[in-house]
Amino acid sequence: MDPDGSTKIVLDQLPKGSFFENLDLVQRDGFWYRPRHLEAAIACYSWFDARDDDVILASSMKTGSNWLKALCFSIMQRHCGGDVGAKNEDLLARHHPSFHVRTLEVRVYTENPPPDLSGMQSPRLFHTHLPYSALPESIKKSKCKMVYITRNPKDTFVSMWHFFNTRRTPEQGSYPLEDAFESFCNGVFHFGPFFDHVLQYWNQSLKMPHKILFLKYEDLRRNPKDQVKRLASFLGKPFADEEEVEELIRNCSLERLKNLEVNKKGVDPWIDMPYSAYFRKGVVGDWENVLTPEMSQRLDQITSMKLEGSGLDLVQDATTCKKLKGSGLDLEHDATTCVKLERSGLDLVHDAVTIMNLEGSGSDLVHNEITCMKLEGRGPA
Ligand code: PAP
């Protein structure tokens, strides 16, 4: 992979940091990596040859990667073929999601020599924690699709803190929350800073919505059916009926995955962690049990500052999600939809509300309005 050792020389010259005391990190182009992940990222950059029908999942750490892996793998498996596995086999019961959907810089290009992926059947499904700017050019240039998942930063941090604490002995106890929080706020952790990671993908997804689907953990939690249907349609594998969606959601649920033998007893060979560490509570707003009010306020401020003007909202969304859970009311999609459709003349939010309110009244204000717009030549074609 690196016969002349040039990657090591590059690594030696990079700024150094650490997370959780003893996890060494190096910084390159604004992002922090474990040295072996950066070596693999460099190999991946040189060797990975994306195909037009590849699907690449992407995420910062602890934002729902394994849930997304399970969902996409199952969606693709329904259509059978390729390396995804045979239809109707309960493959999630056999292996952890990260076995089926390998992370390029953690589980593929850490092999030396780099593996030859050309023999894999299409469609191939991979995952990456790499920031958009560090992706191989072939991913950016090919027609392959990407799905990015993110989560509100407070739950992301708390999930990360719990995860890395499972590596510590009872004598060591939990790593000081304040220190871990400081690192998170400064962006010094694997594949951090969080906000730069999220914004890179968010901006690309706005530019290329046909190529990158941007999902939020909270949306998936609150309204899994709509989100999973959206995901399947984006991947070109829409569902035939509602039952199929519901079954797939059940099969990929935290409750089920957590209780599968393979995930209860297995160990992740790549990082020597029990698979059970990947399945914890999955609760939106769990940060309330861990963060002090000052920490919460500080992270909210950083979030508002970093996301200002981007059109992306990770704080309100999470709060709203918690408050509206089970109410059937959706305020964030409406808001996101408004941002995306601004100035297009198209209104999907108020139209939907109007239709709901006028149901059974015999009156149709939405279609009438669209008809008028079309006849006047001011609306969507
Ligand atoms: P990774 O970055 O190490 O791959 P990732 O899967 O992104 O981890 O995130 C783990 C979080 O997703 C955990 O959240 P928590 O600590 O707040 O509980 C984990 O519980 C949650 N998670 C894992 N699988 C699922 C699932 N099927 N449904 C919902 N949440 C899940």
Check which CATH number belongs to the domain holding 218 and give it.
Answer: 3.40.50.300
Q: Which of 190, 278, 291 to mutate to test the pocket of ligand 1 (most atoms within 8 A of CB)?
A: 278
> Do you find a cis peptide bond into 209, omega within 30 degrees of 0?
no
In a domain, 367, yes or no: yes
pLDDT the model gives residue 115? 92
The whole-number pLDDT of residue 381 equals 36
Do residues 258 and 179 both lie within one domain?
A: yes
Looking at the structure, tell me whether residues 143 and 258 fall in a common domain: yes
Task: Give me the pLDDT at residue 1, please.
Answer: 46
Closest approach atom of ligand 1 to CA 279: 20
Asked, for residue 25, whether it belongs to a domain, the answer is no
User: Contact at 8 Å (CB) between 55 and 145?
Assistant: yes
Q: Would 14 be classed as within a structural domain?
A: no
Separation of CA 257 and ligand 1 centre (Å): 10
- Co-location of 255 and 341 in the same domain: no
13, part of any domain: no
Report the b/e string of 311-347 with b at 16+ CB within 10 A.
Answer: ebbbbebbebbbeeeeeeebebbebbbeeeeeeeeeb
Same domain, residue pair 258 and 158: yes
Tell me which of 310, 336, 370 is where a domain ends.
310
Same domain (yes/no): 195, 226: yes
Q: Which phi and psi angles does 180 have, rounded to 5°?
A: -65, -40
Measured from the Cα of 257, ligand 1's closest atom is 27
pLDDT of residue 291: 98
Residue that is written with structure tokens 């999955």 in the block: 282
Digit-by-digit pLDDT tens for the chain (381 residues) are 455 566 776 788 999 999 998 899 999 999 999 999 999 999 999 999 999 999 999 999 999 999 999 999 999 998 764 455 566 678 999 999 999 999 999 999 998 889 999 999 999 999 999 999 999 999 999 999 999 999 999 999 999 999 999 989 999 999 999 999 999 999 999 999 999 999 999 999 999 999 999 999 999 999 999 999 999 999 999 999 999 999 999 999 999 999 999 999 999 888 888 999 999 999 999 999 999 999 999 999 999 999 999 999 998 655 655 666 656 555 545 445 444 555 454 555 444 544 444 454 545 554 555 444 444 544 443
* pLDDT at site 294: 98
- Residues 337 and 265 reside in one and the same domain: no
pLDDT of residue 222: 96
How many other C-beta atoms lie within 10 A of the C-beta of residue 378?
Answer: 9
**Which ligand 1 atom minimizes the distance to the CA of 282?**
18
Whether residue 196 is contained in a domain is answered as yes
Q: What pLDDT is attached to residue 89?
A: 79
Which pLDDT score is estimated for 349? 47
User: Could you tell me if residue 316 is inside a domain?
Assistant: no
Test site for ligand 1: of 75, 215, 280, 281, most ligand atoms within 8 A of the Cβ: 280
Residues 340 and 267 in one domain: no
Q: Both 295 and 330 in a single domain?
A: no
| Choice from 254, 275, 290 to test ligand 1 binding pocket (greatest atom count within 8 A of CB) | 254
pLDDT at 48: 97
* Residue/partner pairs of 104-108 with CB below 8 Å, 24 or more apart: 104/40, 104/41, 104/44, 104/48, 104/128, 104/130, 105/37, 105/38, 105/40, 105/41, 105/44, 105/129, 105/130, 106/37, 106/40, 106/270, 106/271, 107/270, 108/40, 108/44
Angle between helices 177-186 and 153-165 (to 10 degrees): 130
- Ligand 1 atom with minimal separation from the 221 CA: 29
Give the end of a domain, one of 310, 338, 353. Answer: 310
Q: Is 258 in the pocket of ligand 1 (CB under 6 A)?
A: no
Tell me, using a 6 A CB cutoff, whether residue 217 lines ligand 1. Answer: no
37 classed as catalytic:
no
Instruction: Give the number of domains in the chain.
Output: 2
Expressed in angstroms and rounded, the spacing between residue 211 Cα and the centre of ligand 1 is 24
Q: Do 236 and 378 belong together in one domain?
A: no
Same domain, 254 and 126: yes
**Considering the domain boundaries, does residue 351 fall inside one?**
yes
In a shared domain, residues 306 and 330 = no
Active-site annotation holder among 100, 129, 190, 197: 129
If asked whether residues 143 and 73 sit together in one domain, one would say: yes
According to DSSP, the residues that pair with 18 across neighbouring strands are 24
Range of the domain at 156: 49-310
Residue 57 near ligand 1, beta carbon < 6 Å: no
Residue 67 lies in a domain: yes
Which of 310, 342, 368 marks a domain boundary? Answer: 310
